[in-house]
Structure 1
Amino acid sequence: MAEDGPNWDGLLKWSLSHADGTRPTRQLSEEDRKWFTEAMQSQTVDVVKRMKEITQVMLTPQHVLEAHEVTSQDIQDLLDELKDHVESIDMANDLHSIGGLVPLLGYLKNSDANIRAKSADVISTMVENNPRSQQSVMEANGLESLLLNFTSDTDMHSRTQALGAISSLIRHNNSGITGFRIADGYTGLRDALESDSVRLQRKALNLLHYLLQENDSDYDIAIELGLHGLMIHLVSSFDADIREAALRGLLELAKNRKLCTCGSSLGKDNEKLRQILEDQIKGISLLSQEDLSAAEEERQLLDSLWVTLYNEPSSL
C-alpha cells in the first residue's frame, strides 16, 4: 500500500550545496526559502494522506480485509507505521480530526492479541505528554477500553501494553487519574503485582509510585488493598528494576508515615520488611566494587528506607 517515500535525497543535496560545515550558512534567497517551505509542506501533506489511508484500512470490515488477503501481520505493520507518525504531537492531534482515533480504539477489541497490543502502543505514543490527545482519548472512552484490556485480557503482552498506554494517558491528567481511581484501577495494579510477568510488574510499580506521589489520599487505598505487602515481597525480586521500583513505592509510603515499625495492623508486615531489608543490605555489602557501582541506586534506596523507617543509620 505504501507510496514512494519523501524525497530525502533531494533535500540532502540541497542542504549540502548550501552549507559545507566550514563557514556560516548563508542567508536564504526568497526563491530558496519558497522551495524549502513547499518541500516541508509537501512532507506534512504526505504524512496526513498516509494516516488517512491507514484510517481507511482500520475502518474496513474484517471480512473485506480477508477477501483482499490483508493479513494480521499487514495490520500490525500499518500500526507500527502509524506509531512512527504520531510521535509528532501535531500528527497525533491530527489523527482524531481525520477520523483515525475511533477505529484505532476499536482495534483494542480485535480478536488478534497482537493487534490489540499494537493499538495500545500507538495510543501510548500519541498521548504521552500531549494534553490535547489525552483529552481526545478520554472523550472517546479510551480509558475504559484500555482498563478492560489491562484487567481482563487473556494475553499478557496485550495487558502490559494496555497498562503502558494507561500510564501515558493519565500522567499529568487529573481527569484521567480520577477516572482510573473510580474504575478501581488500583485493584488492577494489585493483580499486576501478583502476576508472574516481570514487564507487567515493572509498569505497575512505576505507575503506582507516580500516583502515590501525586495524590496523598491514595496512600490509604494502597494500604487497604495490601499493595505495601506486595511491594515488600518484590523488594527481594531477582529483577533489579523491580527491586528498585518496589523500594521507591515503600519509601513514598514511609515518608508519609503510612508504614510504621510497631503498634499497628502493619506490625507483621514491618517485621517481614525489616528482615528483607537486612538481607538485601547484607547482600549489597558483599558485592564487589564493580557490582556495587551498578547497584548504587538500589543501595541508596535501601539506606533511605531504613533511615526513614527506623530512625537510625543502616550498615551500608
Structure 2
Amino acid sequence: MAKEGPNWDGLLKWSLSHSDGTRPTRQLSEEDRKWFAEAMQSQTVDVVKRLKEITQVMQTPQQVLEAHGVTLQDIQDLLDELQEHVESIDLANDLHSIGGLVPLLDYLKNPNANIRAKSADVISTIVENNPRSQESVIKANGLESLLLNFTSDTDMHSRTQALGAISSLIRNNQTGITGFRIANGYTGLKYALESDSVRFQRKALNLLHYLLQENGLDSDIAIQLGFHHLMMHLVSSIDADVREAALRGLLKLTEARKECSTCGSIIEKGDEKLRQILEDRIKGISLMSQEDLSAAKEERELLNSLWITFYNEPSTL
C-alpha cells in the first residue's frame, strides 16, 4: 500500500467513468459520491452503505485497484470486514440485493490463493443456516465455482475453504445436495480423504457423514468409491478428530448394510482387515492413561458401537 493509503477518492472517480464490460455503469448522486469517498476513510457506522462501498471495490478490476494504491492485503482486509457484517442474516441477504454477491463469487476465480480462500470463507458465513442466501448462491452458479476450487485448486487452503463453504451451502438444502451429487462431489470427497491434510480430511468426513444421514441410499455410492477402505485407514490417524469421524462414517456404512443393495457383501469382504484395524485401535486405547482415556471417551464409544454393529458382540473396551 502507498504510504498515504489507497486513493479511494480517485478510485471512485474511475469507477464512475468506466465499466468492466460485465455490468452497467452505476450512476451515483452527489451525495453518494460524498459518502463513498469519506466513508472508506472514516469507517462509517452505516453498514448498508459500507456494504455498497465494499461491493464497489469488488466490482473494480484489479489493475485499477493497484493503480489507486489498493493492495491484495487491502482486499483481504475488506473481505474480513465483509465477513463480520454478513454474520447477520439480514445483512447477508442484503448483500445480494445491492449487487455484492456476484462479485464476491467472482473472487473465487482470483489469481491470488488467499483471496480465493477468504472469499469461500465469507460465502460460508453468508449461507450458513440461511435458506434465502443458499438459494441466491446456487442460482448464481456459486456451487459450481466452489466445486471447481474444491476439486482443482492448486492451493490446499483454498480447496479446504471451498469445501467448508460447500458444506454450509448444501446443508438442509435438497437442491444443493442434488447438485453436489450430480457434479460428482463424492469423488471430490474421496480425493480429500486421500490427501495429507488433516483439516481437509476432517471436513470431508464430516460432510460425508451428514450426506449419508440425509440419504442412506448414498451409501451405495460411498461403498462403490471405496470410502470404507479409506476410513479404515483413517481409523489409525494421529488426529483424534479424524479417527472419530472415520469411525462414525464406518458405523454409518455398516448400519446401512440393511438398507442398500451392495453395502453388505462388499464391506464383509474386508471383514478380517477391519477386525484387525479395530483390534489394534482397541489395544492402543487400553494402554492409555486414565486422563487420556477420558479424552478418548467418544472414540471408545464409537469403537464399541461399531464392533457391536459389525460383529454382533461387545468389544473388550
Q: Which residue number in structure 2 is paired with residue 250 of structure 1?
A: 250
- Measure the CA separation in 2 of the matches of 1:248 and 1:123: 28
Residue 217 of structure 1: CA displacement?
Answer: 1.7
Unaligned runs of 5+ in 1: 7-42
Unaligned runs of 5+ in 2: 1-7, 9-39
Q: Is the 8 A contact 2:58 2:104 kept in 1?
A: yes
- Alpha-carbon deviations, 1:188-223, whole Å to 9, x = none? 000000001111000000000000000122010000
The alignment partner of 2:149 has SS state of helix
Q: Which residue number in structure 1 is paired with residue 314 of structure 2?
A: 313
Q: Which residue number in structure 1 is paired with residue 22 of structure 2?
A: none
**Equivalences, count:** 276
- Alpha-carbon deviations, 1:141-197, whole Å to 9, x = none? 000000000000000000000000000000000000000000000000000000011
Q: TM-score, normalised by structure 2?
A: 0.84
Correspondence 1:42-81 to 2 at 5 A: 46-81=46-81
Residue 297 of structure 1 pairs with residue 298 of structure 2: yes
Residue 200 of structure 1 pairs with residue 200 of structure 2: yes
- Alpha-carbon deviations, 1:255-277, whole Å to 9, x = none? 12279xx9934344221111010
Residue 273 of structure 1 pairs with residue 274 of structure 2: yes
- Measure the CA separation in 1 of the matches of 2:172 and 2:267: 31
Q: Which residue number in structure 2 is paired with residue 282 of structure 1?
A: 283
Q: Is the 8 A contact 2:228 2:267 kept in 1?
A: no
Q: Which residue number in structure 2 is paired with residue 188 of structure 1?
A: 188
Tell me the amino acid that sits aligned with residue 183 of structure 1. Answer: A
- Measure the CA separation in 1 of the matches of 2:178 and 2:265: 30
Q: TM-score, normalised by structure 1?
A: 0.85
- Measure the CA separation in 1 of the matches of 2:270 and 2:60: 54
Q: 1:231 to 1:264 in 2, by over 3 A?
A: same
- Measure the CA separation in 1 of the matches of 2:174 and 2:142: 15
Q: Is the 8 A contact 2:124 2:169 kept in 1?
A: yes
- Measure the CA separation in 2 of the matches of 1:181 and 1:78: 33
Q: Which residue number in structure 2 is paired with residue 142 of structure 1?
A: 142
Q: Which residue number in structure 2 is paired with residue 97 of structure 1?
A: 97
Residue 241 of structure 1 pairs with residue 248 of structure 2: no
- Measure the CA separation in 2 of the matches of 1:267 and 1:128: 38
- Alpha-carbon deviations, 1:35-69, whole Å to 9, x = none? xxxxxxxx5xx001001000000000111011112
Residue 3 of structure 1: CA displacement?
Answer: 4.3
Indicate the larger mover: 172-181 or 246-255.
Answer: 246-255
Residue 5 of structure 1: CA displacement?
Answer: 4.9
Root mean square deviation, CA, Å: 1.6
- Measure the CA separation in 1 of the matches of 2:155 and 2:195: 12
Which contiguous aligned blocks of 4+ residues in structure 1 show a shift greater than 6 angstroms?
Answer: none
Q: Which residue number in structure 2 is paired with residue 222 of structure 1?
A: 222
